[in-house]
Homo-oligomer: A and B are copies of this chain.
Amino acid sequence: MHGKLKVSVIGSGNWGSCIARICGDNTKNSKTFEKEIRMWVFEEKVNGRNLTEIINEQHENIKYLPNVKLPDNVVAIPDVTEAAKDADILVFVLPHQFVYKVCESLKGVIPKNCRAISLIKGLDFRDNELALFSEEIEKILNIPCAALSGANIASEVAEEKFSEATIACSNVDRDGPLFVELFTASYFDIRVIGDWRGLQVCGALKNVVAVGSGIVDGLKLGNNAKAAVIRGGLVEMRRFGKSFFGGVHTETFFESCGVADLITTCAGGRNRRVAEAFVTTGKPMDVLEKEMLNGQSLQGTLTAQEVHDFLKQRNKLDEFPFMTAVYRIIYENQPPKIIVECLRSKQSFN
């Protein structure tokens, strides 16, 4: 090994700051990693001061992760190429709309033997295909890119409450130990798998299932129906992964990125909550997004639409009655009760 590995975290929102904190704790006294973690911060003014300066002086991201101290070896940098330059490990943890622009700006800046890991949520529906962000990063930067996902409500991880996460990479033996060393904390347990596609499919589609479970809550259909919806959603997540992405394994759904993240997302979270209000108030989704999300788009309904368009173009709506029902309730004014009717067994022996 030629010296210690330099780690850069690209992104500094709620989750990015959480993760930079764990990485910083792990690199402080490490034989493997350079002590300093560079963290790219999209510069903005907070109380009249630059956010990067606040972070570097107070060691706290007062805007996105207030009241949580960051290790002082996490250094905020407003220029993304400066933050990523010479990095051996790049941790991408930023909103998906920034991914392409940021990656393009890093072309030629990062070393050839750099490795990346994506904590970006969702799939990218473009050119009639669903792209995985880890694979997009690989293509643009020509470096291997792993992915991390799990039942990880950021505020709980920040409070050091026990959580599990899954890391998936194509070369488990080579990259697994490194990522485990960088991301494990006493309160954050990592398991490594080889199925990076299944992991990212779960991370995106769980939000559609959460919308469905919010609809059940809005209808007050009870625990049996909610469990049926989560189950039906899980089955279709798995079917979707296996149908459209090579190498998706059933085992992945037994990991934190699979069933556990799904359970957490359907128990709480904004997708469930706004969908519940959609049923109980009868207000249109855009009105609810204004009222409840400050105008932000709900991820789960957006994904439901993208999945629907993707399936329709392939003539596969019939194989995904649950995902289709979510779409139709939200976008086509279908009655919410179809969320359970769509689950009914078509099993017939006659």
Contacts and interface: CB of A to CB of B under 8 A. Distances in A.
Copies, count:
2
Q: Is chain A's binding surface mostly helix, strand, loop or mixed?
A: helix
Nearest to A221: B161
A193 B192 CA distance: 32
Given A224-B264, A260-B228, A263-B263, A343 B254 contact: no
Interface residues of A, number: 51
A180 B349 contact: yes
Contacts of A44: none
Given A190-B345, A191-B347, A238-B254, A162 B228 contact: yes
Contact of A228 (B163, B180, B250): B163
A269 B52 CA distance: 48
A50 to B, nearest CB: 32
A151 B232 CA distance: 12
5 contacts: A156-B224, A191-B347, A226-B264, A227-B264, A230-B259
A299 B225 CA distance: 24
Q: Which of A156, A163, A223 counts the most B-chain CB atoms under 10 A from its CB?
A: A223
Given A189-B343, A349-B173, A161 B224 contact: yes
Contacts of A228: 151, 162-164, 189, 256, 260
